[in-house]
């Protein structure tokens, strides 16, 4: 990893521009909109620039080097759009690339991690289930989480192949999506999990479906709110919070070429957002 950083690191580390005013949020697709919703509720006057790298979703099918290349490309673009902070709203990208990004870019970068610690505190029987992409479950970061917080609990993991793609198409309540969720939750329920972690930012969009499958007696946890609070605290410490009370602009960039892309983004965002097409190598 060190050699990869040295090969790709620029001589002049990209810093915050003097006129930077927006918060950049990036994900392999539309999943990070769940995190941006929390940010928008907590910081309603902060302008938001989002990049959905949907042509490459999900990132779990890419090598760590390819994921890092995608992250660098998107971060470069967002910095050119005058962002003052970056939120990597993707668990797989965080695991593969966050350290390299922080070494390369001189602005605050906030990442994700599956909520194993809060799940351990919430669980009554000490049995936790994690729904995530295969890429996240294979990562060293996730292994470290289990080492740090999973010693006194049982953690059962389930890779959810195909679920991200369903959400990318806006098929939130489709029968095929519900069938996938039932299939992936079944082993966790059979293991006795009373708490389930949503280990992918796409999954909160189907949280109600998941809750319906696992029942009200099972606690479902995601990390979007915690990430928003972490971002707020970071901006405050670095004196980067906006001082205005003007209405914030929300701009969503996507490289999805499908005809349904705008409708899906508006459906998932739940409010008006300006959607623009972007071509990133």
Regarding beta strands 274-277 and 250-254, do their DSSP bridges make them parallel or antiparallel, or are they unpaired?
A: parallel
The active-site residue, picked from 90, 160, 166, 185, is 90
Best CA proximity match to 113, nearest among 230, 9, 245:
230
Burial readout 244-253 (b: 16 or more C-beta within 10 A, e: otherwise): eeeebebebb
Active-site residue flag, 166: no
3-state secondary structure 107-155: CCEECCCCCHHHHHHHCCCCEEEEEECHHHHHCHHHHHHHHHHCCCCEE
Residue 22's Cβ-count burial label (10 Å; 0-12, 13-18, 19+) is buried
Active-site residue flag, 71: no
Q: Give SS3 for 205.
A: helix
The active-site residue, picked from 71, 166, 185, 200, is 200
**Element holding 251 (H helix, E strand):** strand 250-254
Name residue 277's beta-bridge partners: 254
Q: What's the CA angle centered on 123, arms 117 and 128, to 5 degrees?
A: 70
Could you list the active site residues?
90, 200
């Amino acid at each position: 990893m060190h050699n990869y950083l040295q090969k790709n690191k620029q001589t002049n580390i990209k810093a915050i521009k003097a006129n930077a005013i927006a918060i950049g949020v990036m994900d392999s697709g539309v999943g990070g909109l769940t995190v941006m919703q929390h940010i928008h509720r907590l910081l309603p006057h902060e302008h938001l620039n989002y990049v959905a790298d949907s042509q490459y979703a999900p990132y779990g099918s890419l090598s760590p080097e390819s994921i890092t290349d995608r992250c660098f490309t998107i971060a470069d673009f967002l910095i050119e759009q005058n962002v003052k902070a970056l939120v990597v709203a993707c668990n797989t990208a965080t695991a593969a690339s966050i350290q390299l990004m922080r070494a390369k870019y001189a602005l605050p970068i906030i990442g994700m991690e599956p909520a194993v610690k809060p799940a351990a505190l919430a669980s009554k029987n000490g049995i936790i289930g994690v729904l995530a992409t295969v890429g996240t479950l294979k990562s060293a970061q996730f292994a470290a989480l289990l080492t740090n917080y999973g010693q006194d609990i049982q953690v059962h993991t389930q890779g959810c192949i195909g679920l991200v793609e369903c959400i990318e198409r806006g098929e939130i309540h489709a029968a095929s999506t519900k069938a996938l969720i039932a299939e992936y939750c079944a082993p966790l329920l059979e293991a006795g999990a009373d708490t389930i972690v949503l280990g992918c930012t796409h999954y909160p969009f189907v949280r109600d479906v998941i809750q319906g499958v696992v029942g009200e007696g099972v606690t479902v946890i995601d990390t979007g709110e915690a990430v928003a609070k972490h971002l707020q605290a970071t901006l405050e410490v670095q004196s980067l919070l906006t001082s205005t009370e003007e209405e914030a602009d929300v701009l969503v960039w996507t490289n999805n070429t499908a005809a349904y892309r705008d409708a899906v983004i508006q459906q998932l965002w739940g409010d008006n957002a300006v959607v623009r097409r972007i071509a990133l190598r």
